A and B are shown apart, each in its own frame.
Chain A
Amino acid sequence: ILNVEQSPQSLHVQEGDSTNFTCSFPSSNFYALHWYRWETAKSPEALFVMTLNGDEKKKGRISATLNTKEGYSYLYIKGSQPEDSATYLCALIYNFNKFYFGSGTKLNVKP
Chain B
Amino acid sequence: KAGVTQTPRYLIKTRGQQVTLSCSPISGHRSVSWYQQTPGQGLQFLFEYFSETQRNKGNFPGRFSGRQFSNSRSEMNVSTLELGDSALYLCASTPPGGVADTQYFGPGTRLTVL
Contacts and interface: CB of A to CB of B under 8 A. Distances in A.
Interface in B75-114: 90, 92, 94, 99-108
Contacts of B31: 97
A97 B50 contact: yes
Interface residues of A, number: 26
A101 interface: yes
Nearest to B49: A97
B4 interface: yes
Interface in B8-33: 31, 33
Interface residues of B, number: 30
Q: Chain A CB within 10 Å — which of B41, B55, B94, B100 has the most?
A: B100
Contacts of B58: 98
B55 A43 contact: no
A96 B56 contact: yes
B64 interface: no
Interface in A52-105: 89, 91, 93, 95-104
A69 B61 CA distance: 34
A99 B104 CA distance: 13
Given A43-B4, A89-B42, A103-B41, A97 B55 contact: yes
A100 B100 contact: no
25 contacts: A1-B59, A4-B42, A31-B100, A32-B100, A34-B102, A34-B103, A42-B107, A43-B3, A43-B4, A43-B90, A43-B105, A44-B103, A44-B105, A46-B103, A89-B42, A89-B43, A91-B43, A93-B100, A96-B56, A96-B99, A97-B31, A97-B99, A99-B33, A99-B43, A101-B43
